[in-house]
Structure 1
């Protein structure tokens, strides 16, 4: 009986891990005279110290203690002291944490793990210094065996002295300031960029998770799971076996040898291997290849399901006591890439099938590193909802956290992961704002060894995620030659040899246009003709447009006094912009707003901006997709999200509120999509699925501003898998109908039951290129009903009366009935919706369940709504 009890206790002990994420305190280094050995004992009184946010940065802690104003609001960031002027000590802080943990018994071990400290630190526990030399490296995981240092009474104190980056850089307005921030192995955006102001503390702090882990004598680390799926597969039907390769590192820090077995469990089967570990040793253990019968495969968004297997890996010591175990979800898939001679670019293959890449560039979730599982999940879900299938993580930030990759696995988003570096800071171009010349900057960072050690560590951290597809040497430039050679020829072949490595983000090896070489762009507002007719780089890593949010979004960071819309002068081609808008990196909409009528105020400007947003990103997605496998193998939008309250390059704002960019992309990037080329009038269908479609009815209509319908054609249509098909041009007819005041063009594909498969409504300008008719539309007669389907889900039904005008461009918002503020995040199956006369549309809204405890209602704001805004209750 005693043996059974001891086994149960050991099992529980071996599986115990918890975060130290509350109860921290901190103080600036200059206010503390004592040493770490003293601070890390319970005898030292920290009563007067400030509550600290961990994980977090010094600036986050100061903000949470109301010591600084919110740097994301107005011009507040200008009122926060910058480290370049104050000196590093100003943001150098001691952090302490008291925690309970009794000493380990027998051969059991206790570890202290840090997943990220920026930039260097000394660590003390109960009067003992844990690191012999200063720990340095923002992108290194530190772990310490603290078994010998735990207090006998279980009351422990941890003290960590955190220093800012070695070189803080001058935030002089350049990309990465004066560029010297890149002398560190760390974040470059913190010194400012063209989409963000500088972070004043350069993100100093214990910015990622701190955990206590308890094991038996043997610890598992850096497991490596590789899945191979030979042949060309389809999502449906029985599958030939997949090959699973499993390896892990085992360590035994004790003075005694340990015998036992390492085993993994997958799909109900357990595979074991006997292992003997010498005292004070670390060894790598590999299993024989395992054949997984009839696997459920993982596919990118739009191509199939994202099945994830629960995978358990454990070490069991002799006597059947579990010493350590890890559990993770793995997707079974195989990634390959090949050069497409026709397009002149690489194409990505998953499970043997080529995938047309529709991607978004991602910087970081939060500029102050306030990272969370919820925020990662919401942001990645928005990318899924845009019908994208890839996120590129930009090289001026970081290798994203495991929780980000978990969300990408869940939603089917491939990841193109840059390593640390950018052409701006690292010397690709001559730049008078940079302190050092190109030759010097080309060798950044100062410590190449630290870069490589960090790369090794972070590769091990994220290599098991199905979504991780591409490793990249850096943004628009390769790392220094010795780093590049080590990564390409040694590190990645050894640690992660199944993924494509591209030397830099717009490398010739990735994409090569007919004019020679590769590149990116264009950026900013473009005539739609550019997206459809201008042949850019065949795998374009950065192409994008604008992204101002609506009025509700602007109110979250612009003071009332600064709610002044930009004014574009069509003669001088210059824009007069308010100082706060300018500070938050507004880029011009140029003539695009005036085509809808000059903005009366900021609210009117923001509404008209949404029409531009939708049209720009629908046009971008459709234009690139229209040439897939002919001109292009993929495109990646610069950019789809902001980690700060910026006013450019975003499909949703910092507060997770979507704007019309998101829904323009949702429409234009749909896996199965009907579309219209506004330049040559061609009606086309894109099929980004593995299924051919037959016996569909194509219905093409126009509606004038009074709602009068004109059927242009109605024909049967079919299309093969993974292709684009041109049907016919209607340009002459549409241009004639639109000449006076514009016209609406409705495209629909119906299935055999006359149900809409895909539809698309365009607003075509008049002969002068303006939208004169939209400016005098009659009020629509849209009826709106909403009901709860289940907690966290609402169904909305929109019905437009027969013989009415179109109910044009309706924004639906889920709001708190008391505060009238939007529920964020909320996920709409569609938005900025146009409802044709006599048409009914249903939308689904998903939201986080805590909001279900509140009283909710809908807010509807349409271009020609009779009551703006209108409020709709939700039926139980």
Structure 2
């Protein structure tokens, strides 16, 4: 057995090594130069003998602005007012950001029928490509989202020394960044991202993200290449996670391209769970043919579920084309077995979502993109999506003014169980939904954007092929708050999507009647900005709200990363006047919400109080919507959960991946099984967002005063059915009485029969005047804190609060560098901004690759009434 396993492993290693050689990325060693002063042609520049005198190192994948920043030719646009010091393309002209990019790479011309392919996954906006003195592009390529593939076999050098030269042209219509949403709107005449001309949460990207912004790869195959595999999974019936499963149906197809001049007979096949499925194929010379393989009835499938409902099992499928027994090409596809259904909920009058036959209450976040300058990485995507999973969310919506997200993003969503709602590249702001004096063209003209409808449709078809196998991809959407022009819309809905996908619901636009009917009793999307917490419980919005929320200032350490010292003061000390730099970074005023915690002129104290507001806002938002689950609402999507720039609004973590209290307030309010308190009528209730019945749970309600003395209000066994909201009792009168003098803490717990908390929630209540006077004078808590490493990437932090003292309130836990005392990022916390009741303890897990990479790091803890402590991590 051992010998057989060793031999199998060696064979697998040999195969993996061979596979790795068949495709590789050109991601280093690039050089670039602006077109100014270059008289040579593309044929001349791409000749390996042409001297690259005066050229500089280039970042590929990356935008022109990224390369300039990496070469210290422009200041960091994320910091302070630096973005104002970078020339804007609207004023300089497009030539200022038109660049040549050159890459020398070794690859010998193959023998026999072997082929070599060059792939570009994203260039913004246009380009011409040359290789070894030959022009590869028959015509200039346009389209930020349209992938490119070229057979470069005839042009490879016999010596194996090759030069690739690419001239990249900026968008033809960069637009005037006049402060409007998308500037003057003309950015939307292109088929590309619209936010790059500026929005109400970002300043303009000065090059409009011109560049080879996504991967460039070389692929080697035999005469036949496998393209665009397509896997559909059918999961009939109503399923539950775990246990025996009825069969699922797997449908697999792929496009085959015969690059040779001879007819080829071969076999397309794959093996899955011990089943080999194959189809014999005959391909004419230079033919491109789509092949449908026989269906597979997969027995006892392991299903993929959204986060919070079940595991995210993924299968690996290796699709091969065999030519006379020899492998010409292989395509590896990861997929999940799941089926997503939608139906119309006639009670809420909104779209209801089901996965594998089980209805899912949507708790989502709106996403722009990982980085405003398109500096993407698998690691950053993984961290950001993990943050969303940690918030107990189950969906991410990709907003239409940005892009179709990258495969690495969808891989992370597959891994963590986040459904994806993917808008196409339209916005009501630029594409004419509203009259807007900031826009250059009238509504009728803007309604026809983009200029090239055919390019838009080609890009849609291409991106659908690229993304359709990811189980996390749940929905397509015509655009943000507007449908595309009629000819584009009907081609997408009636032709492209049915032919190339056909398994996902297509929303006309992000708040259309097909998603959420805004009839009697509905008040549209939003609200945006800070609200009183009761507002989230009592104000009825769209029954499937695609955008609600807004605030998200980080704490002091977050702010000092991008605020110059002169601006490190509370931003709005004077009524109606906001610090100009804070305003530049799109700040929304907090003071009416911070003042009840006590006025301050110190930024650190101000930012700490802002975290109390953040936590309360997003816990209240998620609880308010969950309390009306299946009655008012079928889903809610927070606007927004992340920023690709150093903005001061709408984020659960900052640009540097440092979480703030919004994340943990959302996590608390969106817990799958959760006990909560309605501040409008004092009702205590539980929401059960699982498929299981919650029985034999003890509901424990206690009130703590500012000295830590507790009063038991109730202790009773309760239960909550699956996918339900269960109301128990109102305690408003007694809470109002106990908190009227200086406020109070209200503790709610659900305990199992082992007396372990399955959910707990702690509210801090104001006094009768609406102020948190007691918190302003809370006595210090004498906590004992330990930190112990449990494995290479995990630390357990335990906070023990002895009996007889006050609540240890709102403690921030951080992993910090031992020398600088600055936070290590990104790091993941099982909870944060935690409070510990007298006589109890809380244990928090700190984890992530950064924990393992920083062996000498320390744990920092501080709270509202807990002095800052730095702890050595024991082994």
TM-score normalised by the shorter chain: which range applies? over 0.9
Q: Which residue number in structure 2 is paired with residue 756 of structure 1?
A: 757
Distance across 1 between alignment mates of 2:600 and 2:120: 51
The alignment status of 1:567 with 2:559, answered yes or no, reads: no
User: Which of 97, 106, 112 is 1:106 aligned to?
Assistant: 112
How much has 1:505 moved relative to structure 2?
A: 0.2
Matches within 5 A, 1:349-360: 349-360=354-365
The alignment status of 1:219 with 2:219, answered yes or no, reads: no
Alignment TM-score, normalising by the size of structure 1: 0.97
How much has 1:683 moved relative to structure 2?
A: 0.6
1:332–1:466 Cα contact (<8 Å) kept: yes
Distance across 2 between alignment mates of 1:477 and 1:654: 28
Q: Deviations over 1:778-833 (max 9, x none)?
A: 00111110111111111111110011100000000001111211111000000000
Matches within 5 A, 1:666-705: 666-705=667-706
Distance across 2 between alignment mates of 1:436 and 1:321: 59
Q: Which residue number in structure 2 is paired with residue 282 of structure 1?
A: 288
The alignment status of 1:471 with 2:476, answered yes or no, reads: yes
Structure 1 segments (4+ residues) deviating >6 Å: 8-11
Q: Which residue number in structure 2 is paired with residue 242 of structure 1?
A: 248
2:190–2:450 Cα contact (<8 Å) kept: yes
Describe the shift of the 1:152–1:812 C-alpha distance in structure 2 as closer, same or farther (beyond 3 A).
same
SS of residue paired to 2:211 = coil
1:526–1:545 Cα contact (<8 Å) kept: no
The alignment status of 1:862 with 2:863, answered yes or no, reads: yes
Q: Deviations over 1:64-93 (max 9, x none)?
A: 000000000000000000000000000000
How much has 1:457 moved relative to structure 2?
A: 0.2
The alignment status of 1:648 with 2:649, answered yes or no, reads: yes
Distance across 1 between alignment mates of 2:150 and 2:662: 47
1:512–1:518 Cα contact (<8 Å) kept: no
SS of residue paired to 1:90 = helix
How much has 1:31 moved relative to structure 2?
A: 2.6
Distance across 2 between alignment mates of 1:690 and 1:12: 45
1:823–1:847 Cα contact (<8 Å) kept: no
Q: Which residue number in structure 2 is paired with residue 426 of structure 1?
A: 431
How much has 1:256 moved relative to structure 2?
A: 1.0
Distance across 2 between alignment mates of 1:853 and 1:10: 31
SS of residue paired to 1:374 = helix
1:17–1:213 Cα contact (<8 Å) kept: yes
Deviates more, 1:599-608 or 1:458-467: 599-608
Q: Which residue number in structure 1 is paired with residue 621 of structure 2?
A: 620
SS of residue paired to 2:576 = strand
Q: Which residue number in structure 2 is paired with residue 600 of structure 1?
A: 601
Q: Which residue number in structure 1 is paired with residue 7 of structure 2?
A: none
Q: Which residue number in structure 2 is paired with residue 163 of structure 1?
A: 169
Matches within 5 A, 1:81-160: 81-160=87-166
Q: Which residue number in structure 1 is paired with residue 76 of structure 2?
A: 70
How much has 1:479 moved relative to structure 2?
A: 0.4
User: Which of 186, 199, 203 is 2:205 aligned to?
Assistant: 199
SS of residue paired to 2:285 = coil
Distance across 2 between alignment mates of 1:174 and 1:495: 36
How much has 1:588 moved relative to structure 2?
A: 1.0
Alignment TM-score, normalising by the size of structure 2: 0.97
SS of residue paired to 2:162 = strand
SS of residue paired to 2:205 = coil
Q: Which residue number in structure 1 is paired with residue 262 of structure 2?
A: 256
1:477–1:504 Cα contact (<8 Å) kept: yes
Q: Which residue number in structure 1 is paired with residue 873 of structure 2?
A: 874
2:278–2:294 Cα contact (<8 Å) kept: no
2:619–2:666 Cα contact (<8 Å) kept: yes
2:573–2:601 Cα contact (<8 Å) kept: no
Matches within 5 A, 1:583-598: 583-598=584-599
Q: Which residue number in structure 2 is paired with residue 454 of structure 1?
A: 459
The alignment status of 1:826 with 2:832, answered yes or no, reads: no
How much has 1:512 moved relative to structure 2?
A: 1.2
Distance across 2 between alignment mates of 1:28 and 1:364: 27
Q: Which residue number in structure 1 is paired with residue 8 of structure 2?
A: none
How much has 1:575 moved relative to structure 2?
A: 3.4
2:792–2:851 Cα contact (<8 Å) kept: no
1:676–1:682 Cα contact (<8 Å) kept: yes
How much has 1:61 moved relative to structure 2?
A: 0.1
Q: Which residue number in structure 2 is paired with residue 315 of structure 1?
A: 321
User: Which of 41, 45, 64 is 2:51 aligned to?
Assistant: 45
1:168–1:180 Cα contact (<8 Å) kept: yes
The alignment status of 1:208 with 2:214, answered yes or no, reads: yes
How much has 1:578 moved relative to structure 2?
A: 1.2
Matches within 5 A, 1:508-587: 508-515=513-520, 519-567=524-572, 574-587=575-588
SS of residue paired to 1:615 = helix
Distance across 2 between alignment mates of 1:790 and 1:10: 29
Q: Which residue number in structure 1 is paired with residue 6 of structure 2?
A: none
Q: Which residue number in structure 2 is paired with residue 737 of structure 1?
A: 738
How much has 1:545 moved relative to structure 2?
A: 2.9
1:258–1:279 Cα contact (<8 Å) kept: yes
SS of residue paired to 1:505 = coil
2:827–2:850 Cα contact (<8 Å) kept: no
SS of residue paired to 2:212 = coil
SS of residue paired to 1:483 = helix
1:511–1:518 Cα contact (<8 Å) kept: no
Distance across 1 between alignment mates of 2:28 and 2:254: 32
How much has 1:557 moved relative to structure 2?
A: 0.3
The alignment status of 1:386 with 2:391, answered yes or no, reads: yes
How much has 1:599 moved relative to structure 2?
A: 2.2
How much has 1:289 moved relative to structure 2?
A: 1.4
SS of residue paired to 1:576 = coil
1:507–1:518 Cα contact (<8 Å) kept: no
Distance across 1 between alignment mates of 2:534 and 2:719: 27
Structure 1 gap ranges (5+) = none
Q: Deviations over 1:708-731 (max 9, x none)?
A: 111111111111111110000000
1:702–1:710 Cα contact (<8 Å) kept: yes
2:365–2:393 Cα contact (<8 Å) kept: yes
2:185–2:429 Cα contact (<8 Å) kept: yes
Distance across 1 between alignment mates of 2:239 and 2:383: 30
How much has 1:519 moved relative to structure 2?
A: 3.5
Distance across 2 between alignment mates of 1:42 and 1:632: 63
Describe the shift of the 1:516–1:810 C-alpha distance in structure 2 as closer, same or farther (beyond 3 A).
closer
How much has 1:311 moved relative to structure 2?
A: 1.1
Q: Which residue number in structure 1 is paired with residue 494 of structure 2?
A: 489
Q: Which residue number in structure 2 is paired with residue 718 of structure 1?
A: 719
Q: Which residue number in structure 2 is paired with residue 630 of structure 1?
A: 631
2:61–2:212 Cα contact (<8 Å) kept: yes
1:15–1:324 Cα contact (<8 Å) kept: no
1:818–1:855 Cα contact (<8 Å) kept: no
Describe the shift of the 1:801–1:338 C-alpha distance in structure 2 as closer, same or farther (beyond 3 A).
same
SS of residue paired to 1:581 = helix
Distance across 2 between alignment mates of 1:483 and 1:520: 26
Distance across 1 between alignment mates of 2:276 and 2:205: 49
How much has 1:173 moved relative to structure 2?
A: 0.3
Q: Which residue number in structure 1 is paired with residue 782 of structure 2?
A: 781
Distance across 1 between alignment mates of 2:779 and 2:364: 38
Deviates more, 1:364-373 or 1:10-19: 10-19
Q: Which residue number in structure 2 is paired with residue 25 of structure 1?
A: 31
Distance across 1 between alignment mates of 2:851 and 2:193: 34
Describe the shift of the 1:31–1:782 C-alpha distance in structure 2 as closer, same or farther (beyond 3 A).
farther
Describe the shift of the 1:14–1:192 C-alpha distance in structure 2 as closer, same or farther (beyond 3 A).
closer
1:422–1:477 Cα contact (<8 Å) kept: yes
Q: Which residue number in structure 2 is paired with residue 839 of structure 1?
A: 840
Q: Which residue number in structure 1 is paired with residue 309 of structure 2?
A: 303
Structure 2 gap ranges (5+) = 1-10
1:120–1:138 Cα contact (<8 Å) kept: yes
2:827–2:851 Cα contact (<8 Å) kept: no
